[in-house]
């Protein structure tokens, strides 16, 4: 079996609340590597950044980029599809950015009786799938994305997050 190339994943901690979770960067890197392998994503020599922020940080991003003035659990931002930093000339190729909010994520994990690392893995996988083109705008797309998330998380030994929970949005 050929060895797949995982995207280079840089994890940036931009909020002090994440200091209590020193294992978060490795959890995220493992989740994204497993997702890339499972979907056989042809990401080549791509890179992405995951920003671990707080509710106020993600609220500002959500407001500024989506026009929604409230915090959310995870946001994904794809890079521009043209320009000097994209395409064959860019090495590594930027895959995009993911932001994850601590307080919202923590509350969801606690409310759903889910292990913190499991929910963090789920949100990292969800964000990564958005960056490679998956979405949940239609019921059919949402079902396909959920099934793929469940499959990837199973590879990580994480139970189906949708067994008793609403969709990640």
Residue 130 pLDDT more than 80? Answer: yes
- Work out the average pLDDT over 138-151: 94
pLDDT band at 2 (very low <50, low <70, confident <90, very high): very low
Sheet holding 8-13, edge to edge: 8-13, 46-53, 93-101, 74-77
Angle CA 42–43–45, to nearest 5:
130
Domain segments of the chain: what residues?
Answer: 8-155
Residues 30 and 121 sit within 8 Å (Cβ to Cβ): yes
Torsions phi, psi for 26 (to 5 deg): -70, -35
Interatomic CA distance for residues 118 and 123, integer angstroms: 9
- Segment 79-123, tens digit of pLDDT: 876 555 545 555 678 899 999 999 999 999 999 999 999 999 999
Position 165 scores a pLDDT of 52
Q: What is the CATH number of domain 8-155?
A: 3.40.390.30
Angle CA 43–162–5, to nearest 5:
15
Structure tokens that stand for 41 in this block? 């994503």
């Amino acid at each position: 079996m050929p060895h797949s190339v995982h995207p280079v994943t840089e994890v940036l901690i931009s909020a002090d609340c994440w200091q209590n979770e020193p294992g978060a960067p490795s959890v995220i890197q493992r989740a994204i590597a497993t997702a890339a392998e499972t979907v056989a994503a042809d990401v080549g020599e791509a890179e992405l950044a995951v920003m671990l922020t707080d509710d106020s940080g993600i609220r500002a991003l959500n407001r500024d980029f989506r026009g929604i003035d409230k915090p959310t659990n995870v946001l994904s931002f794809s890079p521009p599809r043209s320009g000097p930093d994209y395409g064959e000339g860019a090495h590594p190729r930027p895959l995009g950015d993911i932001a994850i909010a601590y307080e919202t994520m923590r509350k969801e994990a606690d409310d759903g009786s889910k292990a913190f690392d499991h929910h963090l893995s789920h949100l990292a996988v969800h964000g990564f799938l958005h960056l490679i083109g998956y979405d949940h705008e239609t019921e059919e797309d949402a079902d396909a994305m959920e099934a793929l998330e469940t499959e990837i998380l199973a590879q990580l030994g994480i139970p189906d997050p949708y067994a008793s929970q609403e969709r990640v949005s």
